[in-house]
Amino acid sequence: MTDENPQKPFDEAEYRRRQRSRANLMGWILGALALLFFFITMARMVPHS
Amino acid sequence: MAQSLTHGEMSLPADWRDLFALTKPRVMSLVVFTALCGLLAAPGSVHPVLAFSSILAIALGAGASGALNQWYEAGLDAKMKRTAGRPLPAGRLDPQTALHFGVGLAAFSVFLMLFAANWQAAVLLTVSILFYVFVYTMWLKPRTPQNIVIGGAAGAFPPLIGWVAATGGVAPLPVLLFLLIFLWTPPHFWALALFVRSDYAAAGIPMMPVVAGESSTRRQILFYALIMAAAAIAPWPLGYTGALYGWTAVLLSALFVLLSIQVGTRRTGEDDRMQPEKRLFAYSIAYLFILFGAVVADHWWPL
């Protein structure tokens, strides 16, 4: 019986590269959000004229 | 239900570029710009950090809507030349990741708006996301050629949300700006639909040129262009904007109507290159950018 849904060979190097790139990006985004939320809190505490 | 694509058991983690493409960045640029104009044209002043955060929330909300739209329409996108290269139909992203990404982004955008602006803007943002996903994408688009007419409301929300984020309330000017985008959407999308008609027909989407035919679509483009022009000029005689916006709206809308007359009154042959339709489509984008820029310029430097 032939395989009707042949799968591409698993490329571990590409898997790791993407995992690393996503983890790095997530780190930067979370850092930026922490800063943004800090600044929003500051902005809400100080009345803006 | 999403017309999902099958993937291997061991799929690769999504590339960030594909997730970014899922948010329809080009559409997002118009959303961000009109929202920013709504916010800047509002009376009073907003702290720059809060203004930035509110616009970011609107951009993320638009991105979430785009992602959920692409998740739901993956099967249809695969049938159209224009959209077959998108991450989901091309198989670079699995549907579950797209769904999680879209829902997560939508929830975060509303939370950010609530934190940075006010509950009124957060409610409007929620309504606009839900309207785009459930009313336009899932209900209207596959069922009626009026999909763009009613669904246009989803794209018309950003200036209203921007204004509400700045003031906490609704006023006549942002409602008129909402109406302007609402009436601009049919001629903009039908001009596009005329030159990608075969794509929509292949996917079975009942766009106006597919269902009602070309000549009816052309007449309706002209009809909507005329009432859109009236809505665009209306803020000036009604006293909500000054002469700077007024004259800009008069001149730009006159050109819009002229281009629509070209499209509305012509007949095409077999090998027509659809130049007037492409010109109207391209101009309609510039039209909205310049007109909204004029709203802000008029507010800051009244003549």
pLDDT tens per residue across span B67-96: 999 999 999 899 888 889 999 999 888 899
Question: B264 exposed, middle or buried (CB, 10 Å; 0-12, 13-18, 19+)?
Answer: buried
> What pLDDT, on a 0 to 100 scale, did the predictor assign at position B2?
43
**C-alpha span between B131 and B23 (Å, rounded):** 17
- The C-alpha of B248 sits at a distance from chain A's nearest C-alpha, in angstroms, of 32
B114 and B245 share one domain: no
In a domain, B1, yes or no: no
B45/A contact by beta carbon, under 8 A: yes
In a domain, B145, yes or no: yes
What is the extent of the structural domain holding B217?
A: 171-303
Phi-psi category of residue B44: left, alpha or beta, with phi > 0 → left and psi -120 to 50 → alpha? left
In a domain, B54, yes or no: yes
Chain A residues whose CB is inside 8 A of the B53 CB are 36, 40
Which residue among B145, B169, B193 closes a domain?
B169
> What pLDDT, on a 0 to 100 scale, did the predictor assign at position B10?
57
B150 and B53 share one domain: yes
B52 and B145 share one domain: yes
B279 and B221 share one domain: yes
B31 and B128 share one domain: yes
> What pLDDT, on a 0 to 100 scale, did the predictor assign at position B107?
97
- Helices assigned H by DSSP within chain B: 16-22, 25-41, 48-72, 74-77, 95-116, 119-130, 147-167, 172-195, 197-203, 208-211, 214-233, 243-264, 275-300
Nearest to B49 among A11, A18, A40 (CB): A40
pLDDT tens per residue across span B113-170: 999 999 999 999 999 999 999 999 999 988 888 888 888 898 999 999 999 999 999 9
> What pLDDT, on a 0 to 100 scale, did the predictor assign at position B12?
72
**C-alpha span between B47 and B64 (Å, rounded):** 26
In a domain, B26, yes or no: yes
Instruction: State which amino acid sits at residue B219.
Output: R
Instruction: State which amino acid sits at residue B101.
Output: F
Nearest to A22 among B16, B46, B50 (CB): B16
In a domain, B94, yes or no: yes
Which residue among B108, B135, B169 closes a domain?
B169
Chain B residues whose CB is inside 8 A of the A7 CB are 8-10
DSSP B303: -
Given a contact cutoff of 8 angstroms between Cβ atoms, the answer to whether B214 and B195 are in contact is no
B49 and B114 share one domain: yes
pLDDT tens per residue across span B122-138: 999 999 999 999 999 99
Other beta carbons within 10 Å of A35: 10
Count: domains in chain B: 2
Question: CATH no. for residue B156?
Answer: 1.10.357.140
B207 and B187 share one domain: yes
Nearest to A15 among B6, B12, B53 (CB): B12
| Exposure string for B61-94, b = 16+ CB within 10 A, e = fewer | bbbbbbbbbbbbbbbbbbbbeebeebbbbbebbb
What are residue B44's phi and psi, to 5 degrees? 85, -175
pLDDT tens per residue across span B18-44: 999 999 998 899 899 999 999 999 998
DSSP A4: S
Nearest to B23 by CA among B84, B113, B88: B88
DSSP B135: I
B234/A contact by beta carbon, under 8 A: no
Taking one residue from A and the other from B, the number of pairs with CB-CB distance under 8 angstroms is 42
What are residue A48's phi and psi, to 5 degrees? -95, 130
Confidence of residue B232 (pLDDT cuts 50, 70, 90): very high
B149 and B217 share one domain: no
What are residue B67's phi and psi, to 5 degrees? -65, -45
Mean pLDDT across the stretch B257-283? 91
Which residue among B117, B137, B169 closes a domain?
B169
Residue that is written with structure tokens 């984008």 in the block: B285
